[in-house]
Amino acid sequence: MKTVALGLRTVPALGQGTWNMGDSPGKRAAEVATLRRGIELGMTLIDTAEMYGSGRSESLVGEAIKGLRDRVQLVSKVLPSNASTEGTVRACEASLKRLGVEALDLYLLHWRGRFSLGETVAGFERLLKQGKIRAWGVSNFDVDDMEELHRVPGGEGCTVNQVLYNPEHRGIEFDLLPWCKSHGVTVMAYSPVGQGGKLLASATLGKVAQKHGVSPAQAALAWCLREPVVAIPKAGSIAHVEENAAAADLVLDEEDLAEIDRVFQAPKRRQGLDML
């Protein structure tokens, strides 16, 4: 599995997302099996959040990683409404309980809210000292947000910015992605194959996929992984997660990238940050 630097460690470039997982009791066994199969295939970074299913996703992940904790890089997120200094600590402790683990590998602020960045960073720093998290980062932060964060005491400890990134949403390439590269912040791409099927129905992506004998989703993931980012697609079945894992070996050539660029154009100016 291709890897990406995250702070002083490396993590797989292809991980597993869990948005909308854990909501249906009838799907639970299949979802647990899917996550475990992904771990077997090297997709050992698993992303979840207290918001997902009001904690049900974290509980599902906790079940899936039983006996496998040493192999997994575990990521969760604190809601902005909980992101005061004390609230961040309490939210993390609740997430740890649902996950059934003693520490998170990475803890993110899900998006900006009413609490100051200084308060949230203070909570992250306390959790680091307590050994309850190993690193921290943010999600849905634009360049202005990142620069403000770096002016906060301790703000340069941010290791990750998780943002929307796929061929339909590539505004980060103009300024945010270069900023993160130059400041040692790893970009984590959520929804790398889009949502709702519009991206995967693209004739252009279909043409590129057909050329390589792969699915449009695999082509979209390979496009994303041409950059040094971590992509976290969700899979609903073992066949789906196996398809995702195989995308890590696919390399698109210059002709493919030019074809995609013609339809999904690279940004020529600064854009507002896209969010889902």
- Residues annotated as part of the active site: 52
Helices (H), 110-234: 117-130, 143-151, 176-182, 203-212, 216-224
**Closest to 170 (Cα-Cα) out of 95, 236, 220, 106:** 220
Those residues whose C-beta lies under 8 Å from the C-beta of residue 144, and which sit 6 or more positions away, are none
Q: How many CB atoms lie within 10 A of CB 266?
A: 12
CB 175 within 8 A of CB 268: no
Geometric angle at alpha carbon 4, from 210 and 9, rounded to 5°: 155
Beta bridge partners of 178: none
Pairing between β-strand 9-12 and β-strand 3-6 as defined by DSSP bridges: antiparallel
Which of 163-193 are b and which e, b meaning 16 or more Cβ less than 10 Å from the residue's Cβ? bbbbbbbbbbebbbbebbeeeebbbbbbbbb
Q: How many CB atoms lie within 10 A of CB 262?
A: 9
**Closest to 159 (Cα-Cα) out of 128, 182, 138:** 138
- In one letter, which amino acid is 157? G
**Closest to 43 (Cα-Cα) out of 8, 7, 18:** 18
Which of 80-115 are b and which e, b meaning 16 or more Cβ less than 10 Å from the residue's Cβ? bebbbbebbbebbeebbebbebebbbbbbbbbbeeb
